[in-house]
Homo-oligomer: A and B are copies of this chain.
Amino acid sequence: MTEVPWLDDEEQRAWRAVMTMQDDLAEFLDRQMRNRDGLSKADYEVLVHLSEAPGGRLRSFRLGELLRWEKSRLSQHLGRMENRGLVIRERSLADQRGADVTISRRGTDLITAAAPRHVADVRAAFFDHLTAAELQTITTIAAKVKEGLAKLQP
């Protein structure tokens, strides 16, 4: 492998700043929802997708695609959510292998209450600090980085 130059001071600062922004932002939003609404970020995303689906129902593997989750993760998490009464799982009639997941009444109530508060948090913690130009720039960066990663892991 060819020699790779170490990060210089400015790069160090930039890298640390971006990483801690990530961590702090994620932790803040997760903690808010957890304490205030009793939902983890994972719970929230599951409920968002279900509540947006027709009938509040999705095939399990379809939900996995939307979330980009491994199947075992999905299975375990849905199990816990089912125990808490947030979703209902049942074997699919069309394909006896598969499972249909439906959001419960309780799940609907929770996501309905949590969503606007979450949006408010996202605004307060992120968008409110950004100019239009900065928003544009960071979106561009995110797209480029994501594209670059896709090439790195084929």
Q: Answer whether A17 and B125 are a contact pair too, CB < 8 Å, given A26-B22, A28-B149.
A: no
A44–chain B nearest beta-carbon distance, Å: 12
Contacts of A130 in B (CB 8 A): 141, 144
Contact pick for A137, options B1, B24, B137, B142, CB 8 Å:
B137
Knowing A4-B119, A4-B123, A137-B137, say if A129 contacts B148 (CB, 8 Å): yes
User: What are the residues of chain B within 8 A of A25 when measuring CB–CB?
Assistant: 145, 149
Q: Which residues of B contact A24 (CB under 8 A)?
A: 145-146, 149
**Of A8-16, A80-88, A94-102, the one touching chain B:** A8-16
User: B124 to A152, Cβ gap below 8 A?
Assistant: yes
A141 to B117 alpha-carbon distance, docked (Å): 23
Q: Is A18 an interface residue (CB 8 A)?
A: yes
Q: Is the CB–CB distance between B138 and A126 below 8 Å?
A: no
7 tightest Cβ-Cβ pairs between the two chains A and B:
A17-B142, A21-B142, A4-B120, A129-B144, A14-B139, A137-B137, A22-B22
